[in-house]
């Protein structure tokens, strides 16, 4: 059941049925019901084909996933279209979002890295979004690894367990969409969260600025923040065992264990700290 969406820490993935019935049992199905029903009406053959593929995957041993291969396949098909990993204006996202559209780059070049950090944080603290100032060395490591391993499966803590999201790098942008979204819409699955990284000041000031846009129908700020926090956890880690999960997902997908992602998340403290019941309203 590698493509199950719910993974309680110490149990098998919930939703063990097959086909459409299993999707309806999924606690996150409600958010996507309209799109799923629309696909079934407009393209019944495509809908049935995806249900068949989903059932085939469920026959794999528990704890193993072909998700890496699925994403690679989806990625190849998506390149000409506006799907995951491409710059898109769908869903309210800004196409070709530049740093100049946010702040006066020439003016801030006169300021120190610490002053720029304060300006960036102060500006976004009043907005309902995710943002960060990343040290140049850390971003270099993330970027280098993202070029070798452009996609990964992230786990978002929910009251019911975990919802899985796929993160796909496209240049300095990182696009997220939920796994159930990919299962039902395939290569046309739209991004639900985009992290924009700006390296314009990296060499001169030693910092990389980051902000985000998200689809508020599917994610709130603390959920988007949880996904963003996992990027350095997996891509900038010093622990070889942690980054090995990313390498396995991208290059040895048959060996990938989704429960290892959850275990790493829990061990880091992010899984416990960002449980919905424990999260405050601030970002």
pLDDT digits (tens, 9 = 90+) for 187-226: 788 899 999 999 999 999 999 999 999 998 889 999 999 9
Give the span between the Cα atoms of 180 and 189, in whole angstroms.
9
Annotated domain spans of the chain: 67-72+99-274
Q: Is residue 22's pLDDT more than 60?
A: no
pLDDT class of 33 with cuts at 50, 70, 90: low
Give the span between the Cα atoms of 203 and 257, in whole angstroms.
38
Q: Is residue 154's pLDDT more than 50?
A: yes
At residue 271, the 3 state secondary structure works out as helix
Closest CA to 167 of 158, 177, 179, 157: 177
Q: Is residue 257's pLDDT more than 80?
A: yes
Provide mean pLDDT across the span 127-155: 96
**CB–CB of 19/3 below 8 Å?**
no
Quick: pLDDT tens for 52-101.
655 554 444 443 444 444 444 434 433 333 344 444 444 567 776 889 88
Give the span between the Cα atoms of 168 and 177, in whole angstroms.
9
pLDDT class of 26 with cuts at 50, 70, 90: low
Cα separations in angstroms, 247 against 74, 95, 226, 244: 18, 29, 21, 5
pLDDT at 111: 92
Residue corresponding to tokens 């049992």: 25
Q: Please tell me whether the overall predicted TM-score, pTM, comes out greater than 0.85 for this model.
A: no
pLDDT at 272: 63
R_g of the chain computed on alpha carbons:
19
Cα separations in angstroms, 282 against 34, 126, 218, 220, 221: 30, 10, 18, 11, 8
């Amino acid at each position: 059941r590698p493509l199950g969406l719910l993974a309680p820490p110490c149990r098998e993935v919930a939703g063990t049925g097959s086909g459409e019935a299993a999707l309806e049992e999924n606690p996150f199905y409600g958010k996507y019901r309209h799109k799923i029903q629309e696909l079934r009406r407009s393209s019944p053959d495509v809908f049935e084909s995806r249900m068949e593929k989903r059932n085939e995957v469920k026959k794999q041993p528990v704890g193993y996933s072909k998700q890496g291969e699925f994403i690679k396949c989806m990625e190849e098909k998506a390149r000409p279209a506006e799907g995951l990993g491409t710059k898109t204006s769908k869903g309210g996202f800004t196409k070709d979002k530049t740093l100049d559209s946010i702040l006066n780059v020439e003016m801030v070049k006169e300021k120190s890295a610490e002053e720029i950090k304060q300006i960036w944080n102060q500006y976004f603290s009043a907005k309902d979004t995710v943002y960060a100032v990343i040290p140049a060395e850390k971003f270099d490591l993330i970027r280098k690894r993202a070029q070798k391993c452009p996609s990964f499966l992230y786990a978002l803590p929910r009251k019911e367990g975990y919802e899985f999201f796929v993160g796909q790098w496209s240049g300095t942008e990182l696009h997220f969409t939920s796994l159930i979204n990919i299962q039902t819409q395939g290569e046309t699955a739209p991004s639900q969260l985009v992290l924009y990284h700006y390296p314009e000041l990296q060499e001169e000031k030693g910092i990389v600025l980051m902000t985000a846009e998200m689809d508020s129908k599917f994610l709130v700020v603390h959920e988007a923040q949880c996904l963003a926090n996992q990027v350095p956890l997996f891509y900038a880690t010093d622990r070889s065992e942690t980054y090995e999960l990313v390498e396995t997902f991208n290059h040895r997908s048959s060996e990938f264990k989704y429960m290892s992602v959850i275990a790493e998340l829990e061990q880091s403290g992010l899984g416990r700290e960002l449980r919905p019941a424990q999260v405050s309203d601030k970002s």
